[in-house]
Amino acid sequence: MGRRNIGEMDFWALRNSLDTRQSISSLGAMLIVSIFLNAILFLVVYIVVFDYSTYPNKESIYKAHLYITVILSLLSLIFGLPSVYKRFEKIQYLITIIVSQNLFGAFPLLFALFAFGNVYGVTQDDLLTITKLALFAGGLVFIVTSIRFFLLLKRGEYRADSYKEKVRKKWENFVRGKLPVFTAIGVGAVFIIQFLFRVIPLTDFDTIIMGTLSILIYLTMLFVLPEQLVILYCKIRYESFNHNRKGNLKPFGFKTHQKKKKKNYKVR
């Protein structure tokens, strides 16, 4: 089989969510709510587990994350306003990606790392090793998920004419389709858990559980990230992935460029 170029039709199934849970009004409301979630999670991370943690350079991390969170909260307030997000829809979606990754990616990861730093006997070298393992697992999940997503697009799994067939066969192909991603998450989690059991006493088993669950949430967000980036690409590339001033999706068009009619000039 020859190579097949990926076009607008190949992203059809991804467009459905933009009319419901990822509409500009839904994302605007989510950004407003995220301001309060940012404040709550910041207090949880930097009050509950931060103070007595031995994690290296934690003060620098605190300052950097504080600035980032404040900036994201201000942007969330601005792009949560209808008068703004209706004019700058693409920027709103980009900010939504960053905010969601901060809320459910960065905060859980930092919570886990700082929590492990509260355990007696865990050295700074151990904490750096846990950090490297977590980042490696996250990178592995992102890369594997991105490759899988690209292959699905090349096979036309998100095309309009194959959507019903995909739904019909979703349980049949579920394990086979998600197996590489689950394998990547499993491998990363196994390495992290094995290392945690070696360095953390069983008396702090609750810390292992909370930290591991937090890291799994962080890995889940990296599993979602490729789809978020693809939808952002579609918003930039295709007008049909954007909304009009009334908040409705623009019509899906297979021909985005119309040829201009040539004017005939009489030669005298």
Q: pLDDT tens digit string along 199-249?
A: 555 556 777 788 888 898 899 899 989 999 999 998 998 888 888 877 778
Rounded Cα–Cα distance for residues 74 and 258 (Å): 40
In the predicted structure, residue 175 carries a pLDDT above the cut 60: no
> Which of the four pLDDT bands, split at 50, 70 and 90, describes residue 8?
confident
Rounded Cα–Cα distance for residues 148 and 156 (Å): 13
Q: pTM to 2 decimals?
A: 0.79
149 within 8 A of 6, measured Cβ to Cβ? no
Residue boundaries of the structural domains of the chain? 15-241
Rounded Cα–Cα distance for residues 110 and 181 (Å): 23
What would the DSSP string read from start to end of 7-35? -GGGGHHHHGGGGTTTSHHHHHHHHHHHH
**% of the chain at pLDDT higher than 70:** 76
Side-chain half-sphere of 215: how many Cα atoms within 13 Å? 31
Q: pLDDT tens digit string along 131-164?
A: 999 999 999 999 999 998 888 888 877 776 655 4
